[in-house]
Structure 1
Amino acid sequence: MKISGTKGFVASAVLAMSTLGTAPVSAEGTLACEPGETYIMNVMVSSHPYWVPVYQGFKQAAAAFGCETVFSGTPDYDITKQIASFEQDLVKSPAGILLHPMQADPFIEPINRAIDSGIEVTTFAADSPNSKRTAYITSDNLAEAKFAAEEIVKQIGDSAEYAVLENPGQSNHDLRVTALISYMEDNFPNMKLVGRQATNQDSNAAYRATASIVQANPNLGAIWIPEAGSAEGAVAAILEAKADVLIMQADVTPVTLEHIKAGNIHMALNPNQGMQGFMGFMSVFLAAHSDVFDPFNDYKVSGFNPMQIPYMDNGFAVITKENADSFDLNAYMEGRDPK
């Protein structure tokens, strides 16, 4: 029988493998943790409520594979202290770490050292793209900024004044702000940016900055805030000034959720935190167990971990007065182990 073309090549290859007795790669029974195999989630400002659903998702995925988990990080907003906590995690020799790096570049060397020592690292919500991290899990910050810009224009018109607060140095927050400003410039050129203040997730700094912006710009129509800590201070200043200013924010805290319910904050764009943690665990677990699959690439000769996910979008939810009850953290945590 004559065999020709691509089908013939594949058939010949299969025949050759069967003749030589080559065993196919199989992951059957291998996707499970060894006793004591541990994965760590490391964050900054560890008491922030944002991490709670993320860690719950992380634990849910770990439990499915019989793995142990640890929540780690620093209570401070301090890059030096977070790196120190990461260094302490490395001493424990975990199989992998799901990391929210406060800043990208200072974490390059620690992440690379972890990878080189056999400890896999996935970043989430903020990235260190020039490091050797194997995956990055986040919501689409460009999509969030576009949604926020269009919603602001929908509510106050396309020839109005707006302001932003920001948190320079944290990649996801930077992108949420710069992308919104760029989108306004490109699509709504009559929208005027009249205030831009760095508040660094400090509600007191946000209160002072917002009060100053409102006082200097009596026609201010809206303010965009890339995280919930600053939104807490901003809404207090706007309510105190009795100003008619539309507030849009990213993320959510119990405090800002109550303001959404009361109509003081228009809406929040909140990453799907549980999915972020669940997929974050899956990515770092698979990186640590990459020997279970054999992709069609050059990883065997180049030496890189074949489990690479440059970017995974965990999606985001729009929180409004109508659906706010679904984001009640206390209700979510009922019956769950917080540790």
Structure 2
Amino acid sequence: MTNLGKLLAGAAVLGLSFGLAPAKAEDPGPFRCAPGDLYAMNVMVSGVEYWFPVYEMFKQAAKQMGCDTVYTGTPEYDVTKQIASFDQILARQPKGIMVHPMNSDPFIEPINRAIEQGTAIVTFAADSPNSNRTAFITSNNDLEGQGAADAVAEAMGGKGEYAVLENPGQDNHDRRIAAFIGRMEAKYPDMKLVARAASNQDPNKAYQALLSMAQAHPDLGAVFMPEANSALGAAQASVELGGKIKVMTADVNAKILDMIKAGEVFGSINPNQGMQGYIGFITLFLAAHPEMIDPMNGDVAAGKNPMNIPFIDNGYAVVTAENADFFYWDSYLKRRGTKGIDE
């Protein structure tokens, strides 16, 4: 045996003599999933690009914590079909679901049933406040509506006629519209609301509605809608009318970004989707592991989940022609080297 071999052997014997245990694998810590733990994200109109960056960062946080994820939902704008997709993933008994409830009240029973089953629920972008969901993460829809109003009014010199297109019944959209109108009334008294119509995320309805509005109100100078699909139709109508109507929307996709850069859409209010997904997942994980939390209140003693956060604000950005290049989904995926919702 070489001198080095004798030295190592002697060290091993000495270690055993003094009761030194062999080194153990590093403790993974509390923020780790057990193998196979599944967390889901559930939405309606699942092909809408808005959801993709949310899931991208939801997925990243999960991978960093050793968890499995799945993207689920329905391609239709149909609350019954979304609830069916919610129940389908619930049948797999995931640890948690981060859900965008299309309508608040229809989701009360499915959310409460999921929690009773042992699946944690966090809502995002739209809420079901009367359910037992543990937390709600979104951009502040009131601030978004106000920011959109400021951008439009300032561009019009604080004077002129405007209209809104709506999706009644979807909580976050209703809030954006109400805040937009409220801001105009409170801060810009010379801005006059002359028309409103329900487009329900349908570009064709938005197109026809804006043409009718412009015919009835020849001095119409701007229109605001709380989501991007309606903006596609509204922008087409505005172009056909000579481009005099400023189209202000919320959320972006590649087509909207192209139209902003081309001057066909005035601008967009875009929630910070990545933070919505990343912080949303961490919140969901904690909701699924209430044993990690012992706040200075009576929740634990009362058998309640101590992870109870009524509202988390993930922030938003105002997208204009100057910064639109930062918001293209394909470029984002290429930079990150991932496959988005397909992985």
Q: Same fold (TM over 0.5)?
A: yes
The answer for unaligned runs of 5 or more in structure 1 is 1-26
Q: Residue 110 of structure 1 aligns with which residue?
A: 110
Amino acid at match of 2:246: L
Q: Residue 256 of structure 2 aligns with which residue?
A: 256
- Structure 2 contact 148–268 (Cα < 8 Å) conserved: no
Q: Residue 319 of structure 2 aligns with which residue?
A: 319
Q: Residue 20 of structure 1 aligns with which residue?
A: none
How much does 1:28 deviate? 8.1
How much does 1:181 deviate? 1.0
* Residue aligned with 1:43, SS: strand
* Residue aligned with 1:47, SS: coil
Q: Which moved more, 1:298-307 or 1:96-105?
A: 298-307
Q: Residue 9 of structure 1 aligns with which residue?
A: none
Q: Residue 178 of structure 1 aligns with which residue?
A: 178
How much does 1:158 deviate? 2.6
How much does 1:248 deviate? 1.1
- Structure 1 contact 214–238 (Cα < 8 Å) conserved: no
TM-score, normalised on structure 2? Answer: 0.89
Within 5 A, what are the aligned runs for 1:58-69?
Answer: 58-69=58-69
- Structure 1 contact 136–310 (Cα < 8 Å) conserved: yes
Return the index of the structure with the highest Cα Rg: 2
Tell me, in whole angstroms, the C-alpha distance in 1 between the residues paired with 2:252 and 2:98.
21
Is 1:276 the counterpart of 2:286? The answer is no
Within 5 A, what are the aligned runs for 1:10-89?
Answer: 29-89=29-89
Amino acid at match of 2:156: I
How much does 1:189 deviate? 2.5
Within 5 A, what are the aligned runs for 1:1-339?
Answer: 29-334=29-334, 335-338=337-340, 339=342
How much does 1:333 deviate? 1.4
Deviations, residues 141-181 of structure 1 (Å, cap 9, x unaligned): 11111111122221113331000001111100000001111
Tell me, in whole angstroms, the C-alpha distance in 1 between the residues paired with 2:158 and 2:318.
22
TM-score, normalised on structure 1? Answer: 0.90
Q: Residue 8 of structure 2 aligns with which residue?
A: none
Point out 4+ residue stretches in structure 1 off by more than 3 angstroms: none
* Residue aligned with 2:121, SS: strand
Tell me, in whole angstroms, the C-alpha distance in 2 between the residues paired with 1:251 and 1:238.
19
Deviations, residues 67-87 of structure 1 (Å, cap 9, x unaligned): 000000101100100011111
Tell me, in whole angstroms, the C-alpha distance in 2 between the residues paired with 1:71 and 1:54.
10
Tell me, in whole angstroms, the C-alpha distance in 2 between the residues paired with 1:97 and 1:77.
20
How much does 1:49 deviate? 0.7
* Residue aligned with 1:183, SS: helix
Deviations, residues 181-228 of structure 1 (Å, cap 9, x unaligned): 122222223321111010011111111111111121110111111100
Tell me, in whole angstroms, the C-alpha distance in 2 between the residues paired with 1:157 and 1:28.
58
How much does 1:267 deviate? 1.3
- Structure 2 contact 96–120 (Cα < 8 Å) conserved: yes
* Residue aligned with 1:70, SS: strand
